[in-house]
């Protein structure tokens, strides 16, 4: 009976929709204060320890303050964390190891590390999945994109960002919100 209850509890926690905050959780949380509203992220250091530590280090260093969501594709994802409001690419630390095979999936409302075609190239950029993007998940034969948390508050803000018309901006030919979406500050919620 205890096993069944534990299993049921684990399934209910894993199945909790993005935006459903767990008041009893001790997982680290980060608040992104944007020009369009606040987004609160809950990170998963148990299953994505390196990605979580990396993201928290950038948050604590103030790296994300004044950055933009520079790539937003409705029906796919919203990406930020790498460019300031003048489209200057920000300096980063060395890339981290890809943790995409950690059992977390690129479901709607999850946050994952952005990277190049090289699997172990993620630095500071991240994206929030606007829909379930299973094709981005890692598997035994495929390096995917490492999920390391989820939106627990402000998914309506993320959806509003996805609704902003996009086009060219800075060095990008498309997918840039035409009304800038600035991360005014990123802070660890204590």
Domains of the chain in start order, with CATH, are: 21-189 (2.40.100.10)
Q: How confident is the model at residue 190 (pLDDT cuts 50, 70, 90)?
A: confident
- pLDDT class of 58 with cuts at 50, 70, 90: very high
Distances (CA, A) of 129 to 24, 65, 110, 112: 25, 21, 6, 8
d(CA 30, CA 45): 13
Q: What would the two tokens of residue 26 be? A: 């001790």
pLDDT of residue 23: 57
The tokens describing 89, both together, are 């690419």
- Banded pLDDT at 25 (limits 50, 70, 90): confident
Separation CA 144–CA 52 (nearest Å): 17
Q: pTM for the whole thing?
A: 0.88
| pLDDT surpasses 90 at 132 | yes
Residue 10 has pLDDT above 50, yes or no: no
Please measure the distance between the N-terminal and C-terminal CA atoms of the chain and give it in whole angstroms: 36
């Amino acid at each position: 009976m205890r096993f069944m209850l534990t299993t049921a509890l684990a399934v209910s926690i894993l199945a909790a929709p993005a935006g459903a905050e767990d008041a009893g959780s001790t997982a680290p949380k980060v608040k992104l204060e944007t020009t369009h509203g606040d987004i609160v992220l809950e990170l998963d250091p148990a299953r994505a320890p390196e990605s979580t530590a990396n993201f928290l280090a950038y948050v604590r260093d103030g790296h994300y303050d004044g950055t933009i969501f520079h790539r937003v594709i409705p029906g796919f994802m919203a990406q930020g964390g790498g460019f300031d409001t003048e489209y200057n690419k920000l300096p980063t630390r060395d890339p981290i190891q890809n943790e995409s095979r950690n059992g977390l999936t690129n479901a709607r409302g999850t946050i994952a590390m952005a990277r190049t075609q090289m699997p172990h190239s993620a630095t500071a950029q991240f994206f929030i999945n606007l829909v379930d993007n299973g094709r981005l998940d890692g598997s035994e034969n495929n390096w995917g994109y490492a999920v390391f948390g989820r939106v627990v508050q402000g998914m309506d803000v993320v959806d509003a960002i996805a609704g902003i018309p996009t086009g060219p901006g800075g060095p990008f030919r498309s997918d840039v919100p035409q009304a800038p979406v600035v991360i005014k500050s990123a802070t660890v919620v204590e």
